[in-house]
């Protein structure tokens, strides 16, 4: 009786607020929580709902898959400054919602007094939108929430719902009478004279005859205000929608940095007469210039009381020098901005200054949807979490942790389809990369229970764990193998154990606990093809970059004999490369994987001209690239040390450098690692380098440094830098000599299949010079040809692994060097 009486009192307030609520003849009503009322009716095709909550802020209702926000379809609205607003949105996790690219909910009316807010909304029961849940017969999970202030933007601390939220299992469709609704008829209704603030206030829309396109790729450009970019592409065009918290103009740009200088810029918005777009560019940090050629068209646009969304389309290759090509599966710097008012007369000026409403982030725009982290594979996928319990990360700047995990029983075979990161939220800033190595040896129960410091307590190479399964690095969403493909694990003749290598970057030198790891997706049914990975690299001890360098290049080489031997042992004459993952550290600026056949250079297999350490994604190709017996590969890495005072050398810490590319392919080759190292074990090399840099070195000092280098081969270059190179005054002339010296230094090349040395060392190889590059295709047409006549030859990319695998080559290098 007490509960019923309490809810009746609540309804008096609700009905007083609604005024005409009962005249709406709602078929059903239910109090979802203290002070929160849902009333509704349906006609078999659509549903109307009145949502009332004890707040003068926002109100929200959702349709969930569980009792949390994760993967929920949400409706949020309210009355702000006398004007209604409504968002059709969704949440991918328990956190800030994201506005849907399609707004499929109409707000019929909204009203508010000093204590309560009520909105009436309508939507179809079934919608052709991945983010909108179908409302069906039977039990559904209904989420409810409200905030104490109105939403100015998608997410802000001041409007967090706190404890004003909940979830209820209930039936929306059919004759589901709620006992509380029976009491409403006998309740006295007190009427407040509160006019409706809006009627039929659907978002403004500009929709051509064609339907709005499906945009499967979504990225949040700004976490604070939730500026969101959605996009799709085909062989010639890219379609993009940007949503921002403004009713004015929005800017979207593509640049080499996050600065406007040199950027391709698109300005857009929605006015009373529809959506507009302006194709611009900028050679400065200021008002952009309008392009002579307008190569962007509006697809659709909408605007509500708080947000604007515009969908645009342009060619991936416009052949206009003012437009950045979106051809390659590479990293792009995506810029965003917005202003408070719409452009007038299609003319940008200083009056439309964005103030602090601007930013930029790195994104890969071109990669096949089958490689998205959420993409499915053949058969029913299962999962194994590859991580141990919490362990103490020591208070040191760089720490590598290694753990063993058992995958299968001896007679069980599985096929890996992907790896996604599982990172403890409070440690996201410290987890630098994770690598999963396959072990070809049995691991004891005692070893399974331990945590090891990699390269101190144990070494993956010495433990027989040197075949890469996959991994993750900063900015990556994980990795996938192609549909109908997988990596074989387990069984009588295949590995049952893996080693997880965790690199912790801890500049604050704090002590913390962590249990992050990788989630392995797999199927039990054998796929059509099997996949594998090998890496190409320059070994760590031979990497060095002088300070003050704007651009400095080093490289590693995988020679043709290695590729042939790896294929010969696998019984194949060629493999299909479906993805490449590049990895370097903070000084890395660009990377390129060059491809040679029969003494001729082909188009680069992969490249990343704007490499970003905090956004490392695997490049997945639209069409696989063929690697044949007798082909060779050269990896080149460019670094910038403009703000550094000392020589940067190769090593495990983030402030040191790496140069590695992981090549994903099918069918498998019998090769796990392939690369080269500079000929630094010859003292004459260092003597020539010192002489060329005008360094005076006493004989006794030279002998001392040479002996120290010989005794600690893995840190040889670091020893030479510390004792010799850091003491000189670097000039442009000396940096040029160092680059020429590095370009012409002879290399040792080698390759391994796990612990087996495939080919003996080959000396005196010199990397091809940078000016030997083959021009990347496609090339814009000359007179008489249109861009549509070009064949699309671009390749695609996405996310991925990490990088200490370079040490595997190093291990072999040490072993062979000592034998000889």
Neighbours of 285 (CB within 10 A): 9
Torsional sign, CA 612, 618, 624, 625: positive
What pLDDT shows up at residue 80? 85
Residue 732 CB burial class (10 angstroms; 0-12, 13-18, ≥19): exposed
Least confident interval from 9-23, 46-60, 247-261, 664-678: 9-23
Residue 43: left (phi > 0), alpha (psi -120 to 50), or beta? alpha
Concatenated DSSP letters of 11-43? HHHHHHHHSSTGGG--SEEEEEETTEEEEEEE-
Residue 386 CB burial class (10 angstroms; 0-12, 13-18, ≥19): buried
| Active site residue ranges | 400, 583
Coil, helix or strand at residue 439: strand
Residue whose entry in the numeric block shows the structure tokens 């989420």: 143
- Residue count (the chain): 820
- Taking the C-alpha atoms of residue 191 and residue 330, their distance in angstroms, rounded to an integer, is 62
In sequence order, what are the beta bridge partners of 664? 533, 579
According to DSSP, the β-strands at 532-538 and 673-678 are parallel
pLDDT at 372 over 70: no
pLDDT at 804 over 50: no
In sequence order, what are the beta bridge partners of 263? 282
Do 225 and 245 contact (CB within 8 A), yes or no?
A: yes
Do 619 and 580 contact (CB within 8 A), yes or no?
A: yes
Segment 480-508 shows an average pLDDT of 84
Structure tokens at 119: 């909105």
User: Among 721, 552, 562, which Cα is nearest to 639's?
Assistant: 552
Sheet of 756-765: strands edge to edge? 756-765, 747-753, 673-678, 532-538, 660-666, 574-583, 618-628, 797-798
User: Among 420, 501, 503, which Cα is nearest to 467's?
Assistant: 501
What pLDDT shows up at residue 314? 94
Coil, helix or strand at residue 673: strand
Least confident interval from 212-216, 276-280, 540-544: 212-216
- Taking the C-alpha atoms of residue 432 and residue 423, their distance in angstroms, rounded to an integer, is 11
Angle, helices 732-744 vs 683-692, to 10°: value is 150
Question: pLDDT tens-digit profile of 400-438?
Answer: 999 988 888 767 889 999 888 888 888 888 998 888 888
Segment 240-264 shows an average pLDDT of 86
Angle, helices 699-711 vs 683-692, to 10°: value is 130
In sequence order, what are the beta bridge partners of 677? 748
Coil, helix or strand at residue 793: coil
Sheet of 497-505: strands edge to edge? 452-453, 398-406, 497-505, 431-439, 465-473
Least confident interval from 88-92, 502-506, 779-783, 811-815: 811-815
Structure tokens at 338: 């917005």
Torsional sign, CA 142, 143, 148, 153: negative
Residue 292 CB burial class (10 angstroms; 0-12, 13-18, ≥19): exposed
Coil, helix or strand at residue 514: strand
Segment 760-782 shows an average pLDDT of 62
Least confident interval from 274-278, 289-293, 410-414, 497-501: 410-414
pLDDT at 377 over 50: no
Neighbours of 108 (CB within 10 A): 20
- CA distances (Å), origin 670, targets 296, 752, 754: 48, 9, 9
Structure tokens at 217: 């790729």
Calculate the CA dihedral of residues 14, 18, 24, 29 and round it to 10 degrees. Answer: -20
In sequence order, what are the beta bridge partners of 47? 42, 123
Coil, helix or strand at residue 141: strand
Instruction: Tell me which of 506 and 478 has the higher pLDDT.
Output: 506
What pLDDT shows up at residue 7? 39
Peptide bond connecting 319 to the previous residue in cis, omega within 30 degrees of 0: no
Q: How confident is the model at residue 93 (pLDDT cuts 50, 70, 90)?
A: low
According to DSSP, the β-strands at 588-597 and 250-255 are unpaired
- CA distances (Å), origin 622, targets 213, 514, 662, 794: 20, 37, 18, 7
Concatenated DSSP letters of 303-333? E-SS-EEEEEEEES----TTS----SSSEEE
User: Among 33, 23, 30, which Cα is nearest to 109's?
Assistant: 23
Segment 175-180 shows an average pLDDT of 44
Segment 707-716 shows an average pLDDT of 77
Segment 143-147 shows an average pLDDT of 91
According to DSSP, the β-strands at 398-406 and 497-505 are antiparallel
Average pLDDT, the chain: 79
Least confident interval from 95-104, 168-177, 577-586: 168-177
What pLDDT shows up at residue 137? 84
User: Among 76, 28, 62, 30, which Cα is nearest to 48's?
Assistant: 28
Structure tokens at 586: 């903070």
Instruction: Tell me which of 160 and 217 has the higher pLDDT.
Output: 217
Could you write out the three-class secondary structure of 201-244? CCCEEECCCCCCCCCCEEEEEECCCCEEEEEEECCCEEEEEEEE
């Amino acid at each position: 009786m007490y509960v019923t009486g309490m809810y009746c009192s609540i309804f008096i307030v609700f009905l007083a607020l609604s005024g005409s609520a009962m005249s709406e003849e709602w078929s059903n009503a239910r109090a979802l929580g203290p002070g929160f009322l849902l009333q509704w009716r349906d006609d078999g095709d659509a549903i109307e709902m009145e949502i009332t909550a004890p707040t003068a802020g926002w109100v929200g209702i959702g349709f969930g898959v569980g009792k949390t926000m994760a993967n929920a379809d949400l409706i949020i609205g309210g009355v702000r400054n006398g004007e209604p607003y409504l968002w059709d949105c969704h949440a991918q996790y328990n956190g800030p919602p994201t506005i849907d690219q399609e707004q499929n909910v109409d707000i019929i009316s909204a009203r508010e007094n000093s204590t309560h807010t009520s909105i009436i909304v309508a939507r179809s029961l079934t919608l052709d939108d991945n983010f909108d849940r179908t409302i069906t017969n039977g039990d559904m999970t209904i989420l409810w929430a409200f905030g104490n202030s109105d939403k100015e933007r998608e997410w802000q601390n001041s409007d967090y719902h706190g404890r004003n939220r909940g979830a209820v299992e209930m039936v929306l469709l059919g004759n589901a009478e709620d006992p509380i609704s029976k009491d409403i008829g006998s309740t006295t209704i007190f009427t407040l004279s509160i006019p409706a603030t809006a009627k039929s206030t659907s978002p403004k829309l500009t929709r051509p005859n064609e339907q709005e396109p499906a945009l499967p790729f979504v990225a949040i450009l700004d976490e604070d205000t939730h500026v969101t970019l959605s996009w799709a592409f085909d062989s010639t065009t890219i379609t993009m929608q940007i949503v921002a918290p403004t009713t004015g103009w929005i800017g979207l740009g593509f640049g080499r940095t996050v600065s406007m200088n040199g950027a391709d810029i698109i300005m857009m918005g929605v006015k009373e007469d529809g959506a507009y777009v302006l194709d611009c560019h900028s050679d400065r940090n200021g008002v952009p210039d309008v392009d002579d050629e307008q190569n962007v068209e509006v697809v659709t646009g909408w605007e509500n009381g708080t947000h604007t969304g515009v969908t645009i389309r342009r060619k991936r290759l416009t052949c206009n020098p003012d437009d950045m090509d979106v051809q390659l599966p590479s990293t792009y710097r995506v810029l965003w901005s917005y202003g408070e008012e719409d452009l007038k007369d299609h003319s940008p000026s200083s009056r439309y200054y964005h103030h602090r409403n601007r930013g930029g982030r790195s994104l890969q725009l071109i990669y096949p949807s089958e490689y998205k982290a959420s993409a499915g594979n053949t058969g029913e996928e299962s999962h194994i979490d590859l991580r141990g319990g919490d362990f103490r990360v020591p208070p040191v700047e760089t720490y590598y942790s290694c753990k063993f995990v058992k995958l299968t029983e001896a007679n069980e075979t599985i096929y890996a389809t992907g790896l996604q990161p599982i990172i403890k939220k409070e440690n996201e800033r410290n987890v630098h990369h994770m690598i999963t190595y396959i072990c070809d040896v049995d691991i004891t129960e005692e070893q399974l229970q331990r945590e090891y410091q990699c390269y101190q307590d144990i070494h993956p190479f010495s433990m027989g764990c040197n075949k890469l399964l996959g991994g993750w690095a900063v900015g990556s969403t994980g990795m996938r193998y192609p549909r109908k493909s997988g990596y074989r694990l387990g069984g009588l003749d295949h590995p049952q154990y893996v080693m997880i290598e965790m690199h912790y970057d801890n500049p604050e030198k704090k002590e913390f606990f962590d249990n992050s790891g990788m989630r392995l997706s797999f199927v039990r049914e054998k796929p059509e093809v099997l996949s594998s990975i090998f890496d190409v690299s320059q070994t760590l001890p031979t990497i060095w970059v002088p300070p003050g360098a704007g651009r400095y290049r080093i490289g590693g080489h995988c020679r043709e004999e290695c590729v042939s031997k790896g294929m010969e042992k696998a019984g194949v004459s060629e493999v299909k490369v479906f993805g490449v993952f590049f990895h370097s550290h903070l000084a890395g600026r660009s990377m390129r994987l060059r491809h040679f056949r029969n003494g001729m250079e082909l188009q680069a297999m992969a490249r990343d001209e704007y490499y970003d350490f905090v956004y490392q994604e695997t490049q997945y190709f639209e069409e696989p690239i063929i690697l044949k017996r007798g082909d060779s590969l050269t990896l080149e890495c460019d670094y910038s040390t403009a703000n550094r005072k000392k020589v940067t050398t190769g090593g495990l810490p983030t402030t040191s450098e790496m140069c590695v590319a992981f090549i994903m392919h099918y069918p498998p080759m019998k090769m796990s690692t392939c690369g080269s190292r500079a000929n630094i074990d010859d003292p004459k090399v260092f003597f020539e380098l010192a002489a060329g840099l005008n360094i005076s070195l006493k004989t006794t000092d030279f002998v001392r440094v040479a002996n120290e280098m010989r005794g600690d081969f893995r840190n040889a270059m670091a020893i030479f830098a510390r004792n010799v190179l850091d003491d000189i005054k670097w000039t442009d002339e000396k940096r040029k000599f160092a680059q020429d010296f590095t370009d012409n230094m002879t290399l040792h090349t080698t390759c391994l299949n796990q612990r087996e040395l495939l080919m003996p060392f080959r000396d005196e190889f010199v990397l091809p010079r940078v000016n030997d590059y083959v021009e990347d295709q496609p090339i814009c047409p000359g007179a008489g040809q249109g861009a549509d006549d070009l064949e699309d030859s671009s390749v695609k990319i996405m996310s991925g692994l990490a990088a200490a695998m370079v040490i595997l080559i190093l291990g072999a290098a040490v072993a062979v060097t000592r034998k000889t």
